[in-house]
Amino acid sequence: MSRRVVISGIGAVTPIGHRHSGFWNGVSRGTCGIKTIDRFDTTGIGARVAAQVDDFDPLDYFDAKLARRMDRFAQMALAAADMAVEDAGLEIDRKRLNPRAGVTMGTALGGVSGAERQHERYMTQGLRSVDPSLALVVFGGAGSSNIAIRYGFTGPSNANSNSCASGAIAVGEAFRYIKEGYADVMIAAAAEAPLYPLTFGAFALIKALTFNPDPETACRPFDLRRDGFVMGEASAALVLEELSQALKRDAHIWCEVLGYSCNNDAYHMVAPRPDAASTTRVMRDTLTQGSVKPQDIGYINAHASSTPLNDKIETFAIKQVFGDRAGNIPISGTKSMHAHPLGATGALEAAICSMIFEKELLPPTIHYATPDPECDLDYVPNQARSQRVDYILSNSFGFGGINSSLLFGRHEG
């Protein structure tokens, strides 16, 4: 069985705007959500900037009792899911269980920062001071489980922790469940809330983060002066549906999901393969699955982490896949705006790609100033570009050599 799958709902909680409308406004205007960290003292860490979500209050979305039962990452995931369901116009009877609906979720770290906070209490006040719900809120599946419980979705359930590819894999697995007939509707969500001293500092220890203290130049994908990624927090959720069901209820369709693939470099925990063999293959496999030729791709949302090695290898991989045409394909590094919320990123970028078909505007790569001879493609520098595209590829690559690509197509209603 092979069925067509569309995206009918988008929700987002991000440093540059909430809901699909606020997020799109931030992306299209080239808004930078990066700032000097003010939640904790960064003395001794080295890295000083991040993309904080400072205007999220879980009580705006659900009651205090439910909020207390979740870590921040799950609170943001559930809020984004609510937004996506509302955007999709799904009518859900929460008292009736639905075995044809399910949830996939991606998060690299789950509730690790919440555990860090509780550990501080344990060390200073003892075990009885620790939140009794700790064991239920820190695991990555807490986010997807809370979404499933809220909506009575008893169908496929999958929470993955595949580093920075987690969000893309959540979208891809939701696509597969519907395409292969296991479900008719899926919520694909991803969330990360890693901004706490030990969690943040751990990435600084391995020199993955930028030590640039200037928020306006800290994240500059493909720029010669890039020196590390900027950590952020965020969540995104997408409603995926089987096409005929979406058409039957006259849903607003953002786009069609056409392909998905994931693989592993099997090379190194941090560095990508120098020959880009696996990143090249993951893009080619995704195109093949969607029956789309390389020459049909009109835009690429790159992983573009703003690290010296990863941006160079991704550029090389794109050249391997698209050949002489690579220089003519617009490519954005949107992390320059919303930074890198680890496992949430792939879902955020899938949301961006979904909206491009209707908006007919390509997001910019902001902070781009000094070209890198080894990164010499069209990165839509600094200003959004009006352009109609019919097919979009989105890349997500993570620690451990995990690679994933998603393929989206315009849906002609």
How high is the pLDDT of residue 95? 78
Confidence of residue 412 (pLDDT cuts 50, 70, 90): confident
- The one catalytic residue among 20, 219, 255, 303: 303
The three-state (H, E, C) secondary structure of 247-315, written as one string: HHCCCCCCEEEEEEEEEECCCCCCCCCCCCHHHHHHHHHHHHHCCCCHHHCCEEECCCCCCHHHHHHHH
2 — pLDDT class (breaks 50, 70, 90): confident
Give the per-residue pLDDT at 1. Answer: 61
Tens of pLDDT, residues 190-215 = 999 999 999 999 999 999 999 999 99
How does pLDDT run across 20-54, given as a tens digit for each residue? 999 999 999 999 999 999 999 999 999 999 999 99
Read off the pLDDT band of 93 (50, 70, 90): confident
Which position among 18, 20, 32, 164 bears the catalytic label?
Answer: 164
Q: What is the pLDDT of residue 96?
A: 87
Please name which of 297, 271, 265 lies closest in space to residue 284, comparing C-alpha atoms. 297
Instruction: Tell me the pLDDT tens digit for each residue of 114-132.
Output: 899 999 999 999 999 999 8
Query: Which 3 state secondary structure label does DSSP give 69?
Result: coil
What mean pLDDT value characterizes the chain? 97
Residue 102, strand partner residues:
186
Q: Which domains does the chain have, with CATH numbers?
A: 1-413 (3.40.47.10)
Known catalytic residue: 119?
A: no
**What average pLDDT does the segment 225-248 reach?**
98
Residue 20 bears catalytic tag? no
C-alpha–C-alpha distance, residues 377 and 326, integer Å: 7
Band of pLDDT at residue 369, cut at 50, 70 and 90: very high
Going by pLDDT thresholds of 50, 70 and 90, the confidence category of residue 261 is: very high
Mean pLDDT of 287-315: 98
- Identified catalytic residue from 340, 353, 375, 411: 340
User: Does 164 qualify as catalytic in the annotation?
Assistant: yes
